[in-house]
């Protein structure tokens, strides 16, 4: 009798557990998605019909497989818009079919595509922490950016912002102008040697060299005297980024990330190596005690994190995790994106040499023959209006961000639309930045003069210009990145002429950021008189 009772209890527990598991699966896979879709459909928001479990995933695969990839453009035939259709073609096809706001599904995740100006304006003005970064692919992104400020949400995000943001304010960033100039000058000397050894003209892959410069700058800014170790860290992070970009992490299908595949093993190894290298530098600083002579970003993070009482982060593991994750974030947001923007900027200047001359003339008018000293003066940098217009137009046409996403953590109202909790919002930046209704009939053309006045004069909806993100999640390093772009581009244009190499094949692709699939090859010569 006792055995029978024990068996009954055992099987009752098993059945109860299975019922609870089934109820959980039913809630996650059916009830929650159904609630989101029902609320949005009632407000007139439509989209492709999803299939149970897979959502619209199969339709996405079909659209992508049927998409005909155009040939890369060369020379004078380079288009600033033709390549856009190759990035997430399903998003663009559905926008044509359902309008600028529509609903689609990937497995149990419900996505709201937003390309409507008024809705974007409402989201841009929203400061609530209930609008944050999506959690469904956080685990997939963890090897690259961990729980750093790029991906964190709520109080944890606010805490990290409080620790890190002051280090990128103008009064701190301006002290880094010297190292920006130093690193750019080192590359200029290398290019001069190449030009001389090639008879006065060098065919240079400028994107590769600009990544080296950006890595040098961010390594010195972040790690100070340990910058050589920083360069090792960033080189491994670059390999890690390339490995992860081959996986479909943006679809949120991360179920295979725990399997010991060849790709996953490489990602795990690189993640461990990066974290070990960062902690070696951190522990070395700790041995020097508080008040180290180092005045870099790493030291600031270490001191700020150690001095905080917020969120019970006063234990070594959590402090180390904040530092490790945000060193990764600084690389991803600070090195790669700035180098790419500078590369695209030089490509555009090579296509439109009259803008090269306009920048040179402006620099000579403001700086005279003391260009280096002039560029270390913030007041002088602010006067370089032409340079600023070119950088703004580069960010519009070739900004590093391609897709920006948000998750709604409680029901929220944007304009006259109520977006239910759990909805993932997707914004496709290249389309926003080429909207003819907003930018005018020349939206696909390179016209820096559109930024000669205020942003309100440049376009109808300034909120649709989002190269550094939107809302309260604007890039913390915006000031640092802009200063770096101004220093590097102005020094290069002052010293060199740029033309498009016959070997250059123009085809931007999305690898988490907008990268030139075939690199950026330019013909580089010395400016007369230099």
Closest CA to 340 of 477, 481, 514: 514
**Which sign does the torsion angle of CA 30, 36, 39, 41 carry?**
negative
Tokens standing for 230? 């920083």
Closest CA to 80 of 398, 387, 391, 346: 398
Q: For 43-98, where are the alpha helices, taking DSSP H only?
A: 57-66, 89-98
Cα 121 from Cα 259, distance rounded (Å):
42
Cβ neighbours around 442 below 10 Å, total? 10
Cα 490 from Cα 391, distance rounded (Å):
11
Q: Please state the three-class secondary structure of 213-235 as a single string.
A: HHHHHHHHHHHHHHHHHHHHHHH
Contact 114, 120 (CB under 8 A): yes
Contact 525, 196 (CB under 8 A): no
Strand locations in 330-435 (E): 403-408, 412-414, 417-419, 424-428
- CA 71 to the chain's CA centroid: 26
Closest CA to 272 of 318, 315, 233: 233
222 is in an annotated binding site: no
Contact 179, 449 (CB under 8 A): no
Cα 346 from Cα 519, distance rounded (Å):
12
Contact 369, 530 (CB under 8 A): no
Residues 6+ apart with CB under 8 A from 306: 290, 314, 319
Helix (H) or strand (E) holding 264: helix 262-287
Q: Which residues are annotated as a binding site for heme?
A: 475
Known binding positions: 475
């Amino acid at each position: 009798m006792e055995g029978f009772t024990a068996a009954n209890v055992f099987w009752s527990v098993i059945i109860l557990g299975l019922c609870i598991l089934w109820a959980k699966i039913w809630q996650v896979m059916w009830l929650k998605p159904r609630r989101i879709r029902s609320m949005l459909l009632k407000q007139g928001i439509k989209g492709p019909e999803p299939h149970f479990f897979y959502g619209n995933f199969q339709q996405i695969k079909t659209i992508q497989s049927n998409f005909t990839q155009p040939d890369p453009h060369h020379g004078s035939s380079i288009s600033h818009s033709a390549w856009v259709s190759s990035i997430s073609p399903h998003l663009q096809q559905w926008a044509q079919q359902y309008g600028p706001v529509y609903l689609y599904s990937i497995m149990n995740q419900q996505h709201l595509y937003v390309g409507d100006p008024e809705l974007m304006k409402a989201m841009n003005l929203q400061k609530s922490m209930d609008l944050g970064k999506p959690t469904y692919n956080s685990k997939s992104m963890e090897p690259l950016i961990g729980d750093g400020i790029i991906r964190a949400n709520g109080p944890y995000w606010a805490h990290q912002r409080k620790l890190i943001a002051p280090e990128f304010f103008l009064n701190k960033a301006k002290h880094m102008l010297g190292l920006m100039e130093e690193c750019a000058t080192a590359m200029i000397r290398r290019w001069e040697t190449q030009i001389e050894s090639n008879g006065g003209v060098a065919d240079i892959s400028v994107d590769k060299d600009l990544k080296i410069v950006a890595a040098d700058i961010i390594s010195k800014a972040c790690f100070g005297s340990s910058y050589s170790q920083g360069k090792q860290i960033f080189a491994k992070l670059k390999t890690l980024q390339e490995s992860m970009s081959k996986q479909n992490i943006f679809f949120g299908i991360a179920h295979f990330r725990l399997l010991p595949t060849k790709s996953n093993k490489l990602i795990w190894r690189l993640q461990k190596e990066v974290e070990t290298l960062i902690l070696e530098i951190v522990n070395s600083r700790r041995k020097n005690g508080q008040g180290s002579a180092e005045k870099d970003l790493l030291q600031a993070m270490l001191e700020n994190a150690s001095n905080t009482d917020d969120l019970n982060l006063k234990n070594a593991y959590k402090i180390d995790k904040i530092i490790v994750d945000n060193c990764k974030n600084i690389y991803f947001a600070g090195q790669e994106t700035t180098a790419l923007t500078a590369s695209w900027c030089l490509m555009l200047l090579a296509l439109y040499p009259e803008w090269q001359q306009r920048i040179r003339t402006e620099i000579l008018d403001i700086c005279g023959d003391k260009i280096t000293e002039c560029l270390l003066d913030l007041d002088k940098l602010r006067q370089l209006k032409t340079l600023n217009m070119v950088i703004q137009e580069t960010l519009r046409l070739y900004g590093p961000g391609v897709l920006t996403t948000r998750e709604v953590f409680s029901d929220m109202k944007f304009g006259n639309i109520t977006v239910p909790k759990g909805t993932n919002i997707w914004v496709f930046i290249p389309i926003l930045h080429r909207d003819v209704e907003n930018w005018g009939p020349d939206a696909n053309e390179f016209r820096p003069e559109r930024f000669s006045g205020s942003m309100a004069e440049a376009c109808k909806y300034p909120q649709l210009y989002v190269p550094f993100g939107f809302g309260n999640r604007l890039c913390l390093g915006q000031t640092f990145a802009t200063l770096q772009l101004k220093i590097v581009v102005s020094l290069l244009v002052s010293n060199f002429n740029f033309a498009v190499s016959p070997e250059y094949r123009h085809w931007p692709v999305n690898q988490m950021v907008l990268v030139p699939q075939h690199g950026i090859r330019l013909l580089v010569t010395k400016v007369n008189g230099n």
